């Protein structure tokens, strides 16, 4: 029984719902990420309904609700969390409020689905997991690459032995800096560690490390170097590092977010004893497979709303019909890796 809301038990259980029932969602933070990537999925997947949204700006909250045909909108997160018609809460705010909103929602008896990264740092993730255990409310995190066709195909190829025993993985992610033409007050929150936990590394590399956790198991050794070389904003802009998965696979990576546009790269290279797989992390749907038989270039079609497959898994799990592959536990492991990679930079900054 749900001790906080026993009257809900006939209709809703955090890990299983009565047959034919619908999960009714509320979204905290209906910014750009919810417009196409995720928000629409909550009313398009089977047995799911979006009943309330929240944004501090009343005009923007009302506009989102009207365009997406959502019956209720709020400007206060607590009002949405405590709405008795909201069964579960999707937190799509910047990371500095993930922990506080998730904890409030779980203590109100509501499961949460949280944008990535799970929080600003591993310590906040641990706080969230402790409350999840205390309340029995699950946390699921929006690492949707675990459900996309190209990434699932790469996992299938690795596990089937198509490239032989996996040995190592190399990541390269280099992006141009739009901040060169912006004033500090015009820059995105991603480059302010107090909000995001780090820089673009936290926003983007989190997807890569989460997928590698899915592919090779958790990382148990990390060594990293992080620097701010361009001086455009407070966060690190260049990172390099090595790591080792519990499966024995060794990883190397380099990330730079201040390169010339002609130097941009986006690739995950998975090397085995008998071949390799190359796939971009952010140009979805493409993959190159090199084996003794030759080279294959594959393309895959993604869902219209990129988070939709994962949202559907969450809904099914809450109804007791399946298991979601992206959990608070797995997401917290990724946050630990991110912290370890950049800790030297932030120690120097203290």
List the chain domain ranges.
6-142, 149-302+320-349
CA distance 138 to 190: 27
CA distance 142 to 121: 16
pLDDT, tens digit (0-9, with 9 covering 90-100), for 45-86: 999 999 999 999 999 999 999 999 999 999 999 999 999 999
* ∠ Cα 308 313 319 (to 5°): 125
CA distance 167 to 30: 42
**Secondary structure, 3-state, 89-125:** EEECCCHHHHHHHHHHHHHCCCCEEECCCCCCCHHHH
Instruction: Tell me what pLDDT residue 21 has.
Output: 83
**Which residues share a beta bridge with 61?**
none
- For 141-168, what is the mean pLDDT? 97
Q: How confident is the model at residue 317 (pLDDT cuts 50, 70, 90)?
A: very high
Instruction: Tell me what pLDDT residue 2 has.
Output: 36
Q: Is residue 264 classed as helix, strand or coil in its secondary structure?
A: coil
Q: Which residues contact 343 (CB under 8 A, 6 or more apart)?
A: 224
With beta carbons less than 8 A apart as the criterion, state whether 221 and 244 touch.
Answer: yes
The fold of 6-142 is: Rossmann fold (3.40.50)
Which 8-state DSSP code applies to residue 204?
I
- Of 92, 260, 59, give the one whose Cα is nearest residue 177: 260
Residue 283 clears pLDDT 90, i.e. is over it: no
- For 263-284, what is the mean pLDDT? 96
Instruction: Tell me what pLDDT residue 285 has.
Output: 74
Instruction: Tell me what pLDDT residue 18 has.
Output: 54
With beta carbons less than 8 A apart as the criterion, state whether 330 and 210 touch.
Answer: yes
Please give the structure tokens belonging to residue 55: 């944004």
Helix ranges (H only) for 140-218 are 149-160, 193-196, 200, 206-216
- Average pLDDT of every residue of the chain: 93
pLDDT, tens digit (0-9, with 9 covering 90-100), for 207-242: 999 999 999 999 999 999 999 999 999 999 999 999
Please give the structure tokens belonging to residue 47: 């047995």
Largest CA distance in the chain: 61
With beta carbons less than 8 A apart as the criterion, state whether 55 and 61 touch.
Answer: yes
Residue 190 clears pLDDT 60, i.e. is over it: yes
CA distance 113 to 64: 19
The fold of 149-302+320-349 is: Dihydrodipicolinate Reductase; domain 2 (3.30.360)
pLDDT, tens digit (0-9, with 9 covering 90-100), for 18-28: 555 899 999 99
pTM of the model: 0.93
């Amino acid at each position: 029984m749900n001790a906080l809301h026993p009257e809900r038990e006939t209709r809703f259980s955090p890990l299983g719902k009565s047959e034919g029932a619908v999960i009714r969602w509320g979204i905290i933070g209906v910014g750009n990420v919810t417009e196409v990537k995720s928000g629409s999925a909550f009313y398009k997947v089977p047995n799911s309904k979006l009943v309330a949204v929240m944004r501090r700006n009343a005009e923007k909250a009302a506009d989102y609700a009207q365009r997406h045909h959502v019956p209720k909108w709020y400007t206060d997160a607590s009002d949405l969390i405590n709405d008795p018609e909201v069964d579960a809460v999707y937190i799509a705010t910047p990371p500095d409020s993930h922990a506080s909103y998730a904890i409030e929602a779980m203590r109100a008896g509501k499961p949460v689905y949280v944008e990535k990264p799970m929080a600003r740092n591993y310590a906040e993730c641990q706080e969230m997991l402790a409350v999840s255990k205390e309340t029995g409310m699950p946390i699921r995190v929006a690492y949707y690459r675990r459900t996309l066709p190209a990434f699932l195909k790469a996992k299938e190829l690795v596990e089937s032995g198509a490239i032989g025993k996996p040995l190592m993985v190399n990541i390269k992610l280099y992006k141009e800096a739009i901040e060169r033409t912006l004033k500090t007050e015009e820059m995105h929150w991603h480059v302010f560690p107090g909000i995001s936990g780090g820089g673009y590394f936290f926003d983007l590399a989190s997807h890569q490390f989460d997928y590698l956790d899915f592919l090779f198991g958790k990382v148990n050794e990390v060594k990293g170097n992080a620097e701010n070389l361009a001086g455009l904003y407070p966060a690190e802009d260049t990172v390099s590092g090595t790591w080792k998965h519990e499966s024995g696979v060794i990883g190397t990576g380099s990330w730079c977010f201040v390169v010339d546009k002609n130097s941009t790269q986006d690739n995950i290279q998975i090397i085995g004893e008998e071949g390799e797989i190359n796939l971009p992390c952010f140009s979805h749907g493409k993959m190159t497979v090199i084996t003794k038989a030759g080279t294959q270039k594959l393309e895959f079609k993604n869902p219209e709303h990129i988070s939709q497959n994962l949202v559907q898994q969450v809904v099914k799990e809450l109804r007791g019909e399946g298991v979601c592959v992206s959990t608070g536990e797995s997401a917290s492991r990724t946050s630990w890796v991110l912290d370890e990679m950049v800790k030297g930079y932030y120690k120097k900054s203290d």
